[in-house]
Amino acid sequence: MNDAVVVGSGPNGLSAAIVLAQAGLKVVVFEANDSPGGGVRSAGLTLPGFTHDVCSAVYPFGIASPFWSTLPLQSHGLEWMQPDVMVAHPLDDGSAAITRRSLEETAAGLGRDASAYKKMIGAVVRDWPRISRAVLGPPAIPRHPFALARFGMHALRSMQGLAASRFREPRTQALLAGIAAHGMMPLDKALTAGIGLTLGALSHVGGWPVARGGGQRITDALIAHLRSLGGDVVTSTRVTNIEELPPAKVVMCDLSPRPLLRIAGHRLPASYRRALERYRYGNMGVFKVDWALSAPIPWTSPECRRAGTLHLGGSAKEIAASERATWDGRVPDRPFVVLSQPTIVDPSRAPAGKHTAWGYCHVPAGSTADMLDRVERQIERFAPGFRDVVLARAVTTPAELEARNANLVGGDIAAGVTDLGQFFTRPTWRNYTTPVDGLYLCSASTPPGVGVHGMCGYWAAKLALARLLRLRHA
């Protein structure tokens, strides 16, 4: 008999499985897809010889994950590859605002904002060892209340408000707007500053790396480690009803509320079911494109050519307007685009001399709009001639994202909006536990939420172990 069953093999499901297996439990993970990893997989989506990241591609959270840094993932083949420029934000004058690994060098490129950047982002970088478990954890009494309060007073603000009050250069404001826009919320909303400050600081903590060979290598390393602890992963097994699962003391669901309700709704009390039904998925989804390229992207700015990740959207004002329009259900003509060009540091993903690119834009949740031309126009805006180097493209719509992974309702890659109203109560005030003994949630719909870090799984499994121990001693 298994001691624990995990439904779903995303980074949180695998992390939960590892924590349980480390404690000596016999663990099996069931995955609906024929390949494991959820949001952390790679595949040949375009032409022979090209490898693409199916979902996530860039790992500032992964390299900084307090849990993963304790695991021997490197000895299971994981290798982080760091670009010279972490984030580049091209502007219409042909220049770019950038972050590098070095805080000093980044600040030096921001003109009159150099000292403001060093002060504000530098404080988060310095405090990171003290605040990381709180930022990447459930609501709890903080171990370092002063450091957390220092972060919180800025983090709770909107990025638009923070940038306007603390920074003077339009290029700095644009850079921060692009980083904060990863939160998939309008930039005048509370907490968007926290997203920008955290991701901005991570440029200088562990960088924004890619994984050599593709994100799949992260999943492969997690699974290899799980197997070394006696656990297993079974793919092509969709759980449609928790009654089908083999008996186990712990059932850990790497699911967002809607798919959880589908497989376990009948076992849940009505009040908890209603709470899960009230959970809010984001107003924004994602329209994704992968490209096989004959050459590197011909960015006008030389710094963009050395960047792992690029944010395409122009000025802070323009990004704020397009994010607001998208949130309100309108399809923007010039959408905010996130782009990664992994082959500038990892040539193993394409035939010699060739390249890949990965990108997405925000769209209203569930939108059926074809954004390909608009996404490519945003790239052409800063890299004229881009279309001439495209050999092939693969498009993924919000509906396709959801069809491949039931957690991503409407193509919401965050599995639930991360605004103030839902930040501490993901997906309910119970966070990881449910009213059913032994049934837990560990997906990105629990704290700390979206991102490839495994911390939702870590905390959920720690809680399950503590409860098992209490039962044993009761």
Ligand X SMILES: Cc1cc2nc3c(=O)[nH]c(=O)nc-3n(C[C@H](O)[C@H](O)[C@H](O)COP(=O)(O)OP(=O)(O)OC[C@H]3O[C@@H](n4cnc5c(N)ncnc54)[C@H](O)[C@@H]3O)c2cc1C
Structure tokens, 389: 């180097």
Neighbouring-strand partners of residue 126: none
| Distance of closest approach, residue 56 Cβ to ligand X, in angstroms | 3
**Cβ closest to ligand X, residue 59 vs residue 80:** 59
Helix (H/G/I), strand (E/B), else coil: 382: helix
C-alpha distances in Å from residue 347, one per residue of 242, 276, 352, 474: 43, 44, 7, 56
How many CB atoms within 10 Å of residue 470?
A: 9
**Cβ closest to ligand X, residue 9 vs residue 216:** 9
| Distance of closest approach, residue 169 Cβ to ligand X, in angstroms | 27
| Distance of closest approach, residue 81 Cβ to ligand X, in angstroms | 14
**Cβ closest to ligand X, residue 20 vs residue 107:** 20
**Cβ closest to ligand X, residue 41 vs residue 100:** 41
CA distance 346 to 359: 17
CA distance 258 to 280: 10
**Cβ closest to ligand X, residue 8 vs residue 183:** 8
Residues forming contacts to ligand X in the complex (CB under 6 A) are 7-13, 30-33, 38-40, 55-59, 61, 238-239, 254-255, 259, 263, 286, 288, 360, 401, 405-408, 413, 443-444, 450-452, 456
| Distance of closest approach, residue 59 Cβ to ligand X, in angstroms | 6
Residue 390 near residue 396, CB atoms below 8 Å: no
Bridge-based pairing of strands 210-211 and 80-81 is antiparallel
**Cβ closest to ligand X, residue 33 vs residue 315:** 33
**Cβ closest to ligand X, residue 166 vs residue 453:** 453
Residue with tokens 């991701």: 199
C-alpha distances in Å from residue 195, one per residue of 85, 238, 275, 404, 431: 20, 33, 26, 27, 20
Residue 216 near residue 76, CB atoms below 8 Å: no
How many CB atoms within 10 Å of residue 31?
A: 24
CA distance 355 to 394: 14
DSSP letter at 433 equals B
| Distance of closest approach, residue 208 Cβ to ligand X, in angstroms | 9
Tell me the residue length of the chain. 474
CA distance 143 to 129: 11
Residue 233 near residue 221, CB atoms below 8 Å: no
CA distance 27 to 233: 9
| Distance of closest approach, residue 396 Cβ to ligand X, in angstroms | 7
| Distance of closest approach, residue 215 Cβ to ligand X, in angstroms | 8
**Cβ closest to ligand X, residue 199 vs residue 390:** 199
Q: For residue 267, which amino acid is it?
A: R
| Distance of closest approach, residue 276 Cβ to ligand X, in angstroms | 15
| Distance of closest approach, residue 93 Cβ to ligand X, in angstroms | 28
**Cβ closest to ligand X, residue 90 vs residue 410:** 410
